[in-house]
């Protein structure tokens, strides 16, 4: 996995090559409000009115890859990040289940402008996921941070490259979003849509214990994507908060799928269109090689599958002002045989 080993070095080069600009939190939140209708398609409780399809499921992934050579653990001595008080570093801080008090404390550290606001006490929170404050009449959202605060140089590099094409750039931006050092994680699935201005990817930790589904939305700077649909998975310790379904034929684990979309209001940053858009990610049996999304008579959108993992970002070509049926999503093996119908 030479590509994994070179990610940290590449990130240093990317960060040092960029100028550091100040981050205007108020401006980021204002832009976030304008884009809220198009986001929050995948998170629990985040479905919007008019969303045409939501499908959820999840899986346990015992091992990834065939290499037995150990990989370095993220979150070590890295000048691109600094520690967050009272929070473990790297992989240990990814997807931690937190109380409302601890999540609020961390959000205060990340968003000083919101200090004094509180998250609903009845909620359950996880590092790396979005949480909404309970303040009335003053809407605000926090991405609960992990234990690795990104440097100003890293934030500036991510801001200038919101839709990176390299694994190093993608892991950099997801690290900035989650405040978890993902620079040595391994990207196993990725799909980018320049029309939707969105990247969806799956990356797995060096130990294989954790994974992240990371959504990068170029409509917002990476440092302010409060309305993201990203989340961590602790593989082998999934619970009722991780959407689980039965395994498909030939699969040795529960399959995973989370996705959603809508029609009649696709608004990237220009005038709205009537196209249907969809983002999603998941896992099927390891013998699958492709996943196909089919929307009506539109050309099929086909993505590769790696060890069962896949990611989807899609915008239809045809007008879908009224969506009667969601797209079908099907996994196939190398012979073109159906492995599983993920969504009918």
Least confident residue range of 51-60, 102-111, 174-183, 295-304? 51-60
CB 218 within 8 A of CB 193: no
pLDDT in tens, 204-248: 999 999 999 999 988 665 544 566 678 999 988 877 777 666 666
pTM of the predicted model as reported, rounded to 2 decimal places: 0.75
pLDDT, position 245: 67
pLDDT, position 143: 93
Mean pLDDT on 111-130: 89
Residue 68 pLDDT exceeds 50: no
CB 212 within 8 A of CB 187: no
Share of the chain above pLDDT 90, in %: 46
Residue 24 pLDDT exceeds 50: no
Cα–Cα distance between 89 and 51 in angstroms, integer? Answer: 37
pLDDT, position 123: 83
Domain coordinates in residue numbering, the chain:
2-96+146-343
Residue 72 pLDDT exceeds 90: no
More confident residue, 147 or 62: 147
Cα–Cα distance between 332 and 31 in angstroms, integer? Answer: 39
Q: What confidence tier does 75 reach under pLDDT thresholds 50, 70, 90?
A: very low
pLDDT, position 248: 62
More confident residue, 139 or 21: 139
CB 150 within 8 A of CB 173: no
pLDDT in tens, 160-211: 999 999 999 999 999 999 999 999 999 999 999 988 889 999 999 999 999 9
Residue 265, beta-bridge partner list = none
Mean pLDDT on 130-143: 80
Residue 107 pLDDT exceeds 70: yes
Residue 5 pLDDT exceeds 70: no
CB 281 within 8 A of CB 339: no
pLDDT, position 157: 94
Cα–Cα distance between 182 and 161 in angstroms, integer? Answer: 17
**Alpha-carbon distance values, 131 to 145, 252, 321 (Å):** 11, 33, 31
pLDDT in tens, 28-38: 333 343 343 33
Q: Which of 40-49, 72-81, 190-199, 305-314 has the highest mean pLDDT?
A: 305-314
pLDDT in tens, 41-67: 443 333 332 333 333 333 333 333 333
Q: What confidence tier does 250 reach under pLDDT thresholds 50, 70, 90?
A: low
**Alpha-carbon distance values, 308 to 50, 83, 97 (Å):** 30, 34, 26
Residue 85 pLDDT exceeds 80: yes
Mean pLDDT on 105-113: 93
More confident residue, 4 or 103: 103
Count other C-beta atoms under 10 Å from residue 333's C-beta: 16
Cα–Cα distance between 163 and 321 in angstroms, integer? Answer: 28
Please return the burial class of 67, using the count of CB atoms within 10 Å of its CB with bins 0-12, 13-18 and 19+: exposed
Mean pLDDT on 98-108: 95
């Amino acid at each position: 996995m030479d590509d994994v080993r070179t990610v940290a070095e590449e990130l240093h080069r990317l960060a040092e090559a960029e100028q550091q600009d100040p981050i205007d939190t108020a401006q980021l939140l204002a832009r976030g409000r304008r884009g809220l209708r198009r986001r929050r398609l995948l998170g629990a409780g985040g479905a919007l009115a008019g969303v045409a399809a939501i499908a959820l499921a999840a899986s346990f992934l015992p091992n990834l890859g065939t290499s037995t050579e150990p990989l370095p653990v993220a979150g070590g001595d890295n000048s691109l990040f600094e520690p967050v008080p009272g929070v473990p570093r790297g992989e240990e801080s990814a997807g931690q289940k937190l109380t409302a008090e601890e999540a609020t404390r961390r959000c205060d550290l990340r968003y000083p402008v919101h200090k004094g606001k509180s998250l609903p006490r009845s909620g359950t929170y996880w590092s790396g996921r979005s949480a909404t404050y309970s303040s009335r009449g003053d809407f605000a959202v926090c991405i609960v941070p992990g234990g690795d605060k990104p440097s100003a140089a890293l934030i500036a590099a991510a801001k200038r490259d919101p839709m990176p094409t390299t694994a190093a750039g993608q892991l950099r931006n997801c690290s900035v979003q989650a405040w978890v050092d993902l620079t040595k994680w391994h990207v196993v699935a990725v799909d980018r849509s320049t029309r939707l201005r969105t990247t969806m990817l799956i990356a797995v930790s060096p130990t294989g214990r954790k994974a992240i589904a990371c959504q990068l939305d170029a409509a917002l700077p990476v440092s302010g994507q409060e309305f993201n649909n990203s989340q961590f998975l602790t593989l082998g310790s999934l619970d009722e908060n991780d959407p689980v379904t039965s395994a498909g034929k030939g699969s040795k684990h529960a399959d995973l799928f989370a996705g959603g979309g809508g029609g009649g209001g696709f608004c990237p940053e220009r005038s709205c269109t009537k196209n249907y858009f969809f983002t999603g990610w998941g896992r099927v049996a390891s013998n699958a090689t492709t996943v196909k999304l089919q929307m009506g008579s539109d050309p099929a959108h086909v993505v590769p599958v790696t060890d069962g993992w896949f990611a989807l970002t899609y915008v239809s070509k045809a007008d879908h002002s009224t969506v009667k049926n969601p797209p079908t999503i099907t996994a196939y093996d190398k012979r073109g045989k159906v492995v599983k119908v993920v969504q009918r």
